Amino acid sequence: MGTGQLATLIMQGFDGPVYPIHPTEKTVLGLKAYARIEDVLDVPEMVVMVLPTGIVPGLLADCGKAGVRAAVVTSGGFREVGGDGIALERELTAVAREYDIAMIGPNCIGVSNFNIGLNTTYFPYEQEPGGITIISQSGTYSCHIYGHTKRMGIKLSHTVSVGNSVIIDLAECLEYFADEPTTKAIAVYIEGIPDGARFVEAAKRASANKPVVALYVGGTGPGARAGMSHTGALAGDDAIYDGMLRQCGIQRATSIEELLDWCWALSTQPKAPGDRLCILTNAGGPGASMADTASRYGLRVPILSEGLQARLREHLPHTAASINPVDITFLLDYKALYDTIPRLLMESGEVDGIVMYGVFGTLLFRTLQAALKGRVDYDIENLVPMYMGLIEGFSRLPAEYGKPVLVSSFWGRDDDALEYLTDVGVPVYPSPERAVKAFASLSRAQSPRS
């Protein structure tokens, strides 16, 4: 696992000096290795320890003596296994306190800061840095998810796997990231919080500064049992946590997917000024699903005024619906679709943002063109500049009007328009309902403690 973590660090492009410590190897992954921390002439800013449990406290003390003041302890086998592990964790904690070491862990995967290419996990993050910071009592949710974020185009700022949290815990992370400027939204994964009062104080301060969303899994018997054997977390009653999170101004997600979905919108889009959603679609089914979901998640889908509907209908085919959902059905006038109609809606004052289904680039045309080679020749490349110009303009609408635009599509980043939108911060959700739920989070974020 240590080799994996070092490999990721190298791959991520961290450009500070890295000193592998290994009892026998002379080099590790091409880097000169050292037998002991004392052999390193420099004082490392941070150590990452992946070692058999029993020798961790002693070696952390050596690091402390060498002047190290920050540590990630990946090794497990402490409190979470009970028995001797509990005593070993006490010993480790005492060492960290004695040498004033800001220790993350034990039983964690550590920290990432993608702004400087730092990644102590064993998973590479193959994207640009973004605005979401993940603070997690699960190491997995701080790194395995990079496959998910890459596929979706969700971009991260930092991740912290707090593990057993004996020195640095969720509350301390919330305090830090409340003011950390690249963090635009904070995702928190919780199995149990031992010091509720401290957490509440930190969480209130953080959520006053930026949106915070939490996933709490300890509120059911099996969830609590799993958390106990995972990080030794003490879980509590679901309703109590629910109320506590609400009091802190923290939105509660029900799955890891929702946690990231919502933070994606919250870290890239303006908050919705209210709860009035406009659904813009080229397909009736997604329009109806989105309207139904909006209603179930506390949003209104207001009937548009006669005047606005009349202005919209100037640009719509006769089969279209203008009431809201605005269902354009089949429209080849892309200027109307990506510019005129969204602007009429954004300017109207009748809605607080748009969820749009039916944005697409050239993927479908390219697929058909490849299949019809010889039967028909049309030059897709000629269309691209016009098309992408409209998509670029469309992506700037949220900033222009101060209202969010979210997109839903069954295609993903293999389509050029959808790739562009996610790159520049317009989330594209893989199902209509998920886009609407993310919009609801943008609406709730406007008045977090209501």
Residues 241-300 contacting a copy of itself, CB under 8 A: 254-257, 279, 283-296, 300
- Two tokens at 436? 């609407």
- As a whole number of angstroms, the distance between CA 214 and CA 39 comes to 43
CB under 8 A: which stretch of 86-94, 265-273, 363-371, 419-427 binds a copy of itself? 363-371
447 binds a copy of itself (CB under 8 A): no
Closest CB to a copy of itself among residues 197, 376: 376
Tell me the number of residues near a copy of itself by CB under 8 A.
91
CA angle 400, 404, 406 (to 5 degrees): 125
Closest CA to 425 of 192, 280, 282, 268: 268
Q: Using CB under 8 A, pick the residue from 371, 381, 382, 385 that binds a copy of itself.
A: 371
Q: Using CB under 8 A, pick the residue from 77, 117, 273, 393 that binds a copy of itself.
A: 77
Q: Are 120 and 126 in contact (CB under 8 A)?
A: no
Binding to a copy of itself (CB under 8 A) within 89-118 occurs at none
Supply the DSSP symbol for 440: H
164 binds a copy of itself (CB under 8 A): no
- Identify residue 304 by its one-letter amino acid code: L
137 binds a copy of itself (CB under 8 A): yes
What SS3 class is residue 271? coil
319 binds a copy of itself (CB under 8 A): yes
Closest CB to a copy of itself among residues 216, 401: 216
CB burial string 168-188: b at 16+ within 10 A, e below: bbbbbbbebbbebebbbbbbb
What SS3 class is residue 89? helix
33 binds a copy of itself (CB under 8 A): no
CB under 8 A: which stretch of 75-83, 242-250, 263-271, 304-312 binds a copy of itself? 75-83
144 binds a copy of itself (CB under 8 A): yes
In the complex, least distance from residue 23 CB atom to a copy of itself, rounded to whole angstroms: 19
CB under 8 A: which stretch of 55-63, 168-176, 262-270, 370-378 binds a copy of itself? 370-378
Q: Using CB under 8 A, pick the residue from 16, 29, 179, 335 that binds a copy of itself.
A: 29
Closest CB to a copy of itself among residues 64, 106: 106
Q: Are 442 and 265 in contact (CB under 8 A)?
A: yes
> In 3-state terms, the chain is what percent helix, strand and coil (to 5)?
45, 15, 40
Residue 241 to residues 16, 230, 385, Cα–Cα distance (Å) = 41, 19, 51
Q: Are 231 and 106 in contact (CB under 8 A)?
A: no
- Two tokens at 164? 């057993």
Helix-helix angle 56-65:84-98, to 10 degrees? 0
Binding to a copy of itself (CB under 8 A) within 400-419 occurs at 409-412
CB under 8 A: which stretch of 120-128, 202-210, 305-313, 396-404 binds a copy of itself? 120-128
Q: Using CB under 8 A, pick the residue from 127, 209, 329, 348 that binds a copy of itself.
A: 329
DSSP string, 276-342: BPEEEES-HHHHHHHHHHHHHTT-B-PPPPHHHHHHHHTTS-TT-B-SSSEE--S---HHIIIIIHH
In the complex, least distance from residue 425 CB atom to a copy of itself, rounded to whole angstroms: 22
151 binds a copy of itself (CB under 8 A): yes
Contact partners, residue 333, CB within 8 Å, separation at least 6:
315
Q: Using CB under 8 A, pick the residue from 39, 100, 126, 128 that binds a copy of itself.
A: 126
- Identify residue 270 by its one-letter amino acid code: P
CB under 8 A: which stretch of 135-143, 170-178, 195-203, 342-350 binds a copy of itself? 135-143
Closest CB to a copy of itself among residues 182, 309: 309
Q: Using CB under 8 A, pick the residue from 113, 121, 133, 136 that binds a copy of itself.
A: 136
Closest CB to a copy of itself among residues 17, 285: 285
- In the chain, the N- to C-terminal Cα span, in Å, equals 45
In the complex, least distance from residue 123 CB atom to a copy of itself, rounded to whole angstroms: 7
CB under 8 A: which stretch of 62-70, 305-313, 361-369, 393-401 binds a copy of itself? 361-369
76 binds a copy of itself (CB under 8 A): yes
Q: Using CB under 8 A, pick the residue from 145, 280, 336, 417 that binds a copy of itself.
A: 145
- Two tokens at 205? 């301060």
